Amino acid sequence: SQRNQPLLDVQNLTKKFGGLVAVNDLSFQVDEGEILGFIGPNGAGKSTTFNCLTGKHKPTEGTVTFRGEEVTSKPPHEMVNKGMARTFQHFAPLYDRSVLENVALAYTSGKVFSWSGLFSLSTITGTTYDAAAEICARVGLQDDLHRMPGELPHAGLIRLELGRALATDPKLMLVDEVFAGLASGEVEEISNLLLELHAEGMTLIVIDHNMSGLFELIDRAIVINFGEMIAKGTPEEIKNDPEVQKAYLGG
Ligand code: ADP
Ligand code: MG
């Protein structure tokens, strides 16, 4: 029934790059309001999965259904317009635009994730700047509105990535490896920010290569290795799973 329909339904997703199977027959669902961990060692296929969900890559096989609509292989700007936003593991702001302008452009275009350079700042209204400033404040960048992205510390760039994603008014946010390279105090700050978004009703999938970093944050996670799901469940279940322990010991 409509009521039990997951927000996101991924069925038998496979992505091959030539002979390399980066994602192999992966199926999972995400319910509205959930915060799902997506865990696996480096090279496991996590970012590739996000790329297939958001239209950056066309899946080799499988289907993606979002908000009840099959959206497999739709282009990135369509996915953004349908309410799916992401952050990039390798940050992708416009480095020649200020923090505020970056968020305002994301707010205006909804196409920032397939950026073509065609949007002009002259089309941005004062109202949009007000909305963008609010989003900047929501991610803790209220004192950095007029700084350039390159001037931000690493944690500031993560906040900017989250702000640009939020600016598209998503229903689902895909968050890719935001904890790597952060000091522990910053990990807590970014975790708290994600928890605040979750508390406000945002559905999130949060990637991390490191299990323990996510366990404070999530109710449930799936673990992949070599493109295949090897475990799913609560943090406790995952920690004790022999396949997971083997993957993380490199065994
Ligand atoms: P993770 O995000 O879990 O660290 P990735 O999804 O980035 O892993 O990569 C999974 C596998 O797919 C790796 O072996 C990687 O080298 C390969 N891969 C990722 N993107 C491409 C690409 N565009 N072309 C070829 N191989 C790729
Ligand atoms: Mg990755």
Is the distance from CB of 63 to CB of 72 less than 8 angstroms?
A: yes
Q: Which atom of ligand 1 has the smallest separation from the CA of 89? A: 2
ipTM above 0.95, yes or no: yes
Furthest-apart CA atoms within the chain: distance in Å: 57
- The residue ranges of every structural domain in the chain are 1-75+172-183+193-251, 84-169
Of 21, 58, 87, nearest to 225 (Cα)?
Answer: 21
103-135 pLDDT tens trace: 998 887 654 444 444 455 556 777 889 999 999
Q: How many residues comprise the chain? A: 251
**CATH number of the structural domain 84-169:** 3.40.50.300
Q: Which residue, by CA, sits nearest to atom 12 of ligand 1?
A: 22
**CATH number of the structural domain 1-75+172-183+193-251:** 3.40.50.300
Would 1-75+172-183+193-251 and 84-169 be classified into the same CATH topology?
A: yes
Q: Which residues form ligand 1's pocket by a CB distance below 6 Å?
A: 17, 20, 22, 40, 42-48
Q: How many CB atoms lie within 10 A of CB 17?
A: 11
213-238 pLDDT tens trace: 788 899 899 999 999 999 999 999 99
